[in-house]
Amino acid sequence: MASIPTSKGDNPQAPTGAAISVRNLRVNYGSREILHGINFEVPAGETLVILGGSGSGKSTLLRTLVGLETPSGGEIWMRGKNFAAMSEEDRDELRKKMGMSFQGGALFGSMTVGENVALALQEHTELDESTIEIMVRLKLDQVGLSGFENYMPAQLSGGMKKRAAIARALSMDPEILFFDEPSAGLDPIIAAGIDDLILKLKKAFRITIVVVTHELASAFLIADRMILLDKGVIVANGTTKELQASSQPRVRQFLDRIPEPELTGEIDYLQMLTGDVPPIRQ
């Protein structure tokens, strides 16, 4: 039950009226720049899908949005505050309004599913244990895991782990939910179930959702807006329809699943084989 922005007293909106507003974001790993000035906005209640191949920087972007990486430049506006330039305490306050579902679930292996979902509530609120128990059952019911609260994460299948992780991400009634590769490594039926769940959460609680994925079918099903990331820059940004209609070569290559061209030219090929020139052209 996420808050519905229009009904809340404090207005959780960035100056531009979007739930998330990213401006000229730059992220470095050491001296190497991974994201070269990213700009985009997510309107409240909409789902943004970040598309991109391996090494495009999409995971780094997601990690930066939830505060796991520190940007080297730029701004991230959420709830009217610049997340990128905040004290650790303010950042934690904002994080209580965010939920993150990790690729592998990242459930705490030493705790039961129920304890995983209850943890943030126990740590951050003064709620009574009996209230928390009911909340945990509500959340698990929402992801279709009723009755699993006493299971250990190791006893769950991959799809169930992800559902449990989503229940944990929902525990504090977040306004923004982040998903890292929600359907990666799952069989098609379970992956479709996760897509359904994301759609339901969006419709039901009007949560703003950001999903990183490279699964095109899933992306087109759940997205309102999409950005395509390539080598740390945004090559396309628009609604699902706009992206589908785009004639930009890089977008077409990604959406039509055209492989990278092979190295042509005998000299390039020889240099690659002999190691004289690195084959990756930046």
Partner 1 sequence: MDISTRQSGTATIVDVVGDITLYNSPEVRKVLLNLLKEKKSPRVIVNMLSVKYIDSAGVASLVEGLKLSRDLKSTFALFGLSRTAQEVFELTRLVRVFEIYTNEEDALRGGSPNTNAAPVR
Partner 2 sequence: MAITETIGSATINGLAYIGGLARLAGSSVRTIFIEPIRGKKFHFGRAVHQAMAVGVEALPIVSLISFFIGTILALNAAYELRKFGAMQVVASAVAISMTRELGPLMTAVVVIGRSGSAFAAEIGTMKVNEEIDALETMALEPVDFLVAPKFLAMLLMVPCLTVWADFMGVLGGGVFGVSAASFTWGSYISATLDALQSRDITNGLIKAAMFGLVITAVGCQEGFSTGLGSEQVGRSTTSAVVKSIFMVVVVDLIFTAIFYLTAPR
Encoded one letter per residue, x for contact with partner 1 by CB under 8 A and - for no contact, window 93-122 reads ----------------------------x-
CB nearer partner 2, residue 59 or residue 246: 59
CB nearer partner 1, residue 115 or residue 173: 173
**Residue 87: alpha-carbon gap to chain centroid:** 23
Please give the angle made by the CA atoms of 218, 219 and 223, to the nearest 5 degrees.
Answer: 120
Binders of partner 2 in range 90-109 (CB under 8 A): 91-93, 95-96, 98-100, 102-104, 106-109
Binders of partner 1 in range 158-217 (CB under 8 A): 172-173, 204-205
175 Cβ neighbours under 8 A, 6+ residues apart: 2, 3, 5, 12, 19, 79, 97, 98, 207, 208
The least CB distance from residue 66 to partner 2, in Å, is 5
- Please count the residues of this chain forming the interface with partner 2, following the rule CB under 8 A: 25
Q: Does 249 bind partner 2 (CB under 8 A)?
A: no
- Taking CA atoms, 56 is separated from 138, 171, 185, 225, 243, in Å, by 37, 31, 19, 18, 18
CB nearer partner 1, residue 4 or residue 68: 4
The least CB distance from residue 126 to partner 1, in Å, is 6
* C-beta separation of 211 from 244 below 8 A: no
The residue from 130, 247, 264, 282 that contacts partner 1 (CB under 8 A) is 130
Binders of partner 2 in range 162-201 (CB under 8 A): 178
The least CB distance from residue 94 to partner 2, in Å, is 8
The Cα–Cα gap between 102 and 174 comes to 15
The Cα–Cα gap between 174 and 96 comes to 7
270 binds, among partner 1, partner 2, none (CB under 5 to 8 A by kind): none
The residue from 36, 81, 124, 231 that contacts partner 2 (CB under 8 A) is 124
The Cα–Cα gap between 103 and 247 comes to 31
Select the span of 39-47, 60-68, 135-143, 273-281 touching partner 2 (CB under 8 A).
Answer: 60-68
The residue from 79, 139, 163, 202 that contacts partner 1 (CB under 8 A) is 139
* C-beta separation of 57 from 34 below 8 A: yes
Parallel/antiparallel/unpaired status of strands 18-29 and 98-101 = unpaired
The residue from 1, 4, 68, 217 that contacts partner 2 (CB under 8 A) is 68
* C-beta separation of 76 from 239 below 8 A: no
Residues that bind partner 2 (CB under 8 A): 63, 66-68, 91-93, 95-96, 98-100, 102-104, 106-110, 119-120, 123-124, 178
Residues that bind partner 1 (CB under 8 A): 1-4, 7-9, 121, 124-128, 130-132, 134-135, 138-139, 141-142, 172-173, 204-205
